[in-house]
Amino acid sequence: MGKKDANVRMSLQTLRVLEAFMENPTLQLAGAEVHQRCGIASGTLYPILLRLESAGWFVSQWESIDPSSAGRPRRRLYRLTSTGLRRASEVFASFNRGVLA
């Protein structure tokens, strides 16, 4: 959808999504879990997830379960990449500098 490692438009909702992943960078979260943590509506959340994935900040993969045995469909799990972690840390650091300055 976009260029890899491109500059992502930083909105408040994007920062909240990144914050949810930054609490534990190795954690894999589905869209529903991100919604529970951030409270962002689905109409805003899914475009942000796709935008960050296409920019190379996130990678996503299907949950490794058998839907018939689990009794529910498999979810799409998102995880921060090393690039995303570095860029997100830079963004939050720049915001902190701006607030403290």
Partner 1 sequence: MSQRNERSMQWEIDGVSHWLIHHAARRAPECLSSRLEEEWLADLECRSTALSRLGLALGCCWATVVIVNEYSRAQVPAASPLVAAKGCITLADRNFGYFSLRSGTLFLILGLHVSLFCGLVTTLSPTRGLAAEPKLSNQVLHSVPVEMTVLPGK
Contact set with partner 1 (CB under 8 A)? 1-2, 30-33, 35, 41-47, 50-51, 54, 72-76
Q: How far is the CB of 36 from partner 1 (least distance, A)?
A: 8
Which residues have C-beta within 8 Å of that of residue 28, sequence separation ≥ 6? 61, 77, 78, 79
C-alpha 3/C-alpha 17 separation (Å) is 20
Question: Which lies closer to partner 1 via its Cβ, residue 68 or residue 82?
Answer: 68
Sign of the CA dihedral running 38, 62, 51, 21: positive
Question: Which lies closer to partner 1 via its Cβ, residue 4 or residue 97?
Answer: 4
Question: Which lies closer to partner 1 via its Cβ, residue 41 or residue 93?
Answer: 41
